[in-house]
Amino acid sequence: MPEIKVAVIGGSGIYKLDAIKIKNQIKLHTPFGDPSAEIMEAEVDGSPFYFLPRHGHGHHYTPSEVNYRANIFALKKLGVNTVVSISAVGSLQEQYAPKHFVIVDQFIDWTKGLRKRTFFDQGIVGHVSTANPIEGSLQKRLYAACQRAGITSHDGGTYICIEGPQFSTKAESKIYRGFGASVIGMTNVPEAFLAKEAGMAYATVAMVTDYDCWKEEHCSVQEIMEVMKSNYVSAQKFVVQAIPDLVKNPVKFEAENKYAVMTDQALHRASHKEILDVILK
């Protein structure tokens, strides 16, 4: 069986996908602890990929509690080089309406330092550029898959990531709009940056559920959940279009972590080697 190179990380409302067949579940332990859940070996239209529910089965990890390092490390250890993130977001601009998908190309990190956000620590120093946190060719492929699936979608946009689990105040929401951010979420940082450190192609499909709170209209969690049900149906259609294409025609990209490590090799401990052997592979 060929090595599986593509993985989907499912966010709020995407804990499983009815359109896919689960063939196996893999329990892994990493130097950073356990991933959010067992990694599911899945298949759609004969194309194999891995699926990982970001918040765990039943949604029991808050955005700040997700072990992003373990999730990305486990996928890379399994041989994954392409990660598709499916995430629920609020809209910060009128044109990104509920039920639309936004294939973002930039991030603003507005988290508060609670999350472990790098593989390079504890005696190993490394730097990887995140100027372009999304792999552009993958972004274009995901946008094309949305178009084929008949989903109203937008190619490009900026995702601002906040700590949560509380939603924004109205004052904060207006500030974020002033930044020029397109959508707001709680999970794609540091996930995107860790994927970059691990030399993986990463892109986000941001599913809009509401207009955050900047817009003068009430929106309850119950109303958001109703939109999420609709988005779940669209996500199924998207996966059917995107995954076989990515498996049959892999994304070509240049990993930017090759020369990341600055620390002298003479100082590398066995624990460092275990990590670097995976993320620099």
CA distance 80 to 199: 10
What is the number of other CB atoms lying within 10 angstroms of the CB of residue 40?
23
Tell me which of 210, 245, 264, 277 is the catalytic residue.
210
Is 210 one of the catalytic residues? yes
Amino acid at the residue 278: V
Which own/partner contact pairs does 140-144 have at CB distance under 8 Å and 24+ positions apart? 141/242, 141/245, 141/246, 141/251, 142/84, 142/103, 142/203, 142/205, 142/238, 142/242, 143/103
Positive or negative torsion for Cα 149, 152, 158, 162: negative
Active-site option among 45, 105, 155, 212: 212
The question of whether 212 is a catalytic residue gets the answer: yes
Q: Give the separation between CA 160 and CA 102, rounded to whole angstroms.
A: 13
Record the tokens describing residue 159, joined without a space: 């995702």
Task: Give the residue numbers marked as catalytic.
Answer: 210, 212
